[in-house]
Structure 1
């Protein structure tokens, strides 16, 4: 990729209402995943691993914790041109409004981008889980003299109805595009995919929401204030006029759109061979470097469980769960199918042994299943939370239920003996 300069623009997403209540106090890219990372670490790490080191993260909701995370995490050499900057929606004399959509966010931030010398703009989503060599996509874009490239992934008929679906010719040039087609239209939208994808019934090319634009074309497309979204407007309007390349990707990729997919993606990390590989040397995921002690476990039966740094665990049994940084779980508690995000700090010992205070973490003799515990939760003793499809969607001050998954809100205090 030598000689071509790439500016990466990571879109932080809207209000993240489908990830509520995890987005109640933070923006979507700042949501903690895998017990020690945040969602935004994924696209940033993909860029760093692809030697793309000039990045902007665009956000507009609850951006304080995202700002703090990026400021504390991504430090490059004083002499390099590398940076990761957060751009929050800002009111200017020429613009009084919030970002109206993905393209509008890029348009409103354009004056910041144009201060940099770049040939290609790489536009990424801030809420996807994948590991991809983006430099290879840039190379393919250059080699095929494309004006726009779209990363595509083969999907099956069931999933195809919830994506933008593309058709490409034998040179991988995109010829047509349809947003979220109905099932009866699908037979006309199959594409040429590899034999392994055909064998899985994945015959439709879905847009991954990852785009490359030539600098001059992006500037030109941003001149029209009426187009506010890449997927719905810019891409469908551009494919007839500008050479648009489909760059096929066949690795693991998931769009973390709702609580269900978020829960599944996190618990998937506890599988024997997780689809998302946190143990790869080439594709490592970077995050805030915490100086935490080792995790201490006593008397616990563990099965298919991922445990982050700095935990103190005396539970009876933990299975198929992800336990985040600084988590504390007391004696005789059982944790199943649960993502515990952990804590931002340690409580003083006198608080933990004070019987009048429900301390941070999970108390004694609890049973917790099919649950997400947000950061800094305080769960008392003898608490029983049994998530599952038998529960109706609910919203309270301390917890919410979405698709049978119980989400205990950030900092919530759940008293002794409480049952859901």
Structure 2
């Protein structure tokens, strides 16, 4: 099987400052999504579904929770060669710096990869939401005798200025590349796309940051210490000298680059037919198996809500919201257009009964929460009002941040009773 010859490398990204404060205490791949998963579960699950079972996750910031999640989640047979290993940036006598970019991260970790037998390297991003069959891309790469393959997605003119745009010939071989072109240059950068994409005005091929390299070529390219980034340096420099294939993907794909895109991706899961399908048996998303009780609801009106397991909810109304594991929401509270990540543990009845905790974990009674992200283990007191929206200016406090009108309550923060945002 060709997949036995593939090694997957998942890039955890840098400090994740655009996703702050969600990345204040965790690395970007460890950020919780969809109420029960982590971002890193997406590329790992795509690999497992494609029968690629040797994976490295590269990270350098706040990697403790990511390490714990992967250790607790991905267990393979003792007799299997399958593994998911986290490689954090490490100082060695030959290298005393942190990762300087995507290519530098791979270069610094090459000695770990070369201990394994492989012919192809699949390089993935740890902060994208999509369900893609990598096996089809690998087969296209091998059949075309390409040295590099790049997954591309057709985008419209408005979005094209935010991506690296590629131009391919009739054989899907990439002939040129431009990083974030200005609008006046776009007419020269259209590519051949399907009729469906043309009808949507998606005539430009954007790089998805998903690559396949032949082993020998990657070793050669990594020997040049002056190149630090795949998208900005390695790919543009390699197109003329190495056969580079464009593998077109037309499914749902979003780059979780900032709070706004993260929020929209999660709230989009409440749609009647979400673009990201968590219910597809052939494209399962795997995560840690928790032995949690069922969710309990009392007197709550639900409208387009996604609710994870282990919740205790007495809210008056939950609308277009994602409610994460172990969430607690008190009586007469209203939650609209909100992603509540939930809690890592339950408070005991003894603690609650004896009023040892002034404000319980979760959302209290008579609260109104709209256009917000509540990070893990938050405590929202009774009668709190959070009304996010474009009318709010960006703001930073110890308890919460406001970005693009979205109120992000920080992990473990306590919002006092009666507080108004």
How does the TM-score come out when normalised to structure 1?
A: 0.99
* Equivalent residues in 2 for 1:200-215, closer than 5 Å: 200-215=200-215
1:4–1:119 Cα contact (<8 Å) kept: no
Partner SS for 2:250: coil
Aligned to 1:77: 77
What secondary structure does 1:245 align onto? strand
Q: 1:198 to 1:241 in 2, by over 3 A?
A: same
> Which structure 1 residue ranges, 5 or more long, are not aligned?
none
Q: 2:247 aligns to what?
A: 247
Q: Residue 52 of structure 2: SS of its match in structure 1?
A: coil
**Distance in 2 (alpha carbons) for counterparts of 1:101 and 1:310:** 40
Alpha carbons 2:375, 2:412 under 8 Å: kept: yes
Render the CA deviation track for 1:268-310: whole Å, top value 9, x for unaligned.
0010000000000000000000000000000000000000000
Q: Which residue of 2 aligns with 1:103?
A: 103
2:389 alignment partner in structure 1: 388
Tell me what 2:359 maps to: 358
Is contact 1:372–1:405 with CA below 8 Å preserved after alignment? yes
Residue 349 of structure 1 and its aligned partner are, at CA, apart by: 1.7
The RMSD of aligned alpha carbons is 0.8
CA deviations on 1:43-97 (whole Å, 9 max, x unpaired) are 0000000000000000000000000000000000000000000000000000000
Alignment of 1:125-274 (within 5 A): 125-274=125-274
The count of residues paired between Structure 1 and Structure 2 equals: 420
Superposed CA offset, 1:310-333 (max 9, x none): 000000000000000000000000
CA distance in 2, matches of 1:148, 1:362: 50
Q: Tell me the alpha carbon deviations over residues 16-57 of structure 1, each in whole angstroms, 9 at most, x when there is no partner.
A: 000000000000000000000000000000000000000000
Offset at residue 4 of structure 1 (A): 5.2
How far off its partner does 1:2 sit?
A: 3.5
Structure 1 contact 160–206 (Cα < 8 Å) conserved:
yes
Per the TM alignment, residue 381 of structure 1 is displaced from its structure 2 partner at its CA by 0.1
Per-residue deviation, 1:380: 0.3
Tell me the residue number matched to 2:377. 376
Distance 1:222 1:35 in 2: 38
CA distance in 1, matches of 2:351, 2:275: 40
Which runs of 5 or more residues in structure 2 are unaligned?
none
Corresponding position of 1:16? 16
CA contact (8 A) 2:4 2:52 kept: no
Q: How does 1:88-99 map to 2 (within 5 A)?
A: 88-99=88-99
TM-score normalised by structure 2 residue count: 0.99
Q: How far apart in 1 are the matches of 2:103 and 2:383?
A: 50
Q: How does 1:257-406 map to 2 (within 5 A)?
A: 257-353=257-353, 354=355, 357-406=358-407
Q: Deviations over 1:312-368 (max 9, x none)?
A: 000000000000000000000000000000000000123334286111000000000
Q: Give distance in 2, aligned partners of 1:375 and 1:131.
A: 26
Q: Could you list the per-position Cα deviations for residues 176-227 of structure 1 after superposition, in whole angstroms to 9, with x for gaps in the alignment?
A: 0001111111110000000000000000000000000000000000000000
1:235 Cα shift?
0.1
The answer to whether the 8 Å contact 1:351/1:359 transfers is no
Q: Distance in 2 between matches of 1:270 and 1:283?
A: 19
Check the 8 A contact 1:351/1:357 in 2, yes or no: no
Indicate conservation of the 8 Å contact 1:398/1:408, yes or no.
yes
Distance in 2 between residues matched to 1:113 and 1:124, nearest whole Å = 15
CA offset digits 1:363-393 (Å, max 9, x no partner): 0000000000000000000000000000000
User: Would you say the 8 A contact 2:167–2:191 is kept in 1?
Assistant: yes
**Cα displacement (A) at 1:266:** 0.2
Is the 1:164–1:206 contact (alpha carbons within 8 Å) kept by the matching residues of 2?
yes
Deviation at 1:175, TM superposition (A): 0.1
Could you tell me whether the CA contact under 8 Å between 2:3 and 2:135 is conserved in 1? no
Q: Hey, what does 1:45 align to over in structure 2? A: 45
Match of 1:408 in 2: 409
SS at match of 1:282: helix
Q: What's the offset of the Cα at 1:3? A: 7.0
SS at match of 1:286: coil
Go from structure 1 to structure 2 and tell me whether the alpha carbon gap of 1:65 and 1:302 turns closer, same or farther (over 3 Å shift). Answer: same
Alpha-carbon distance in 1 for matches of 2:373, 2:200 = 31
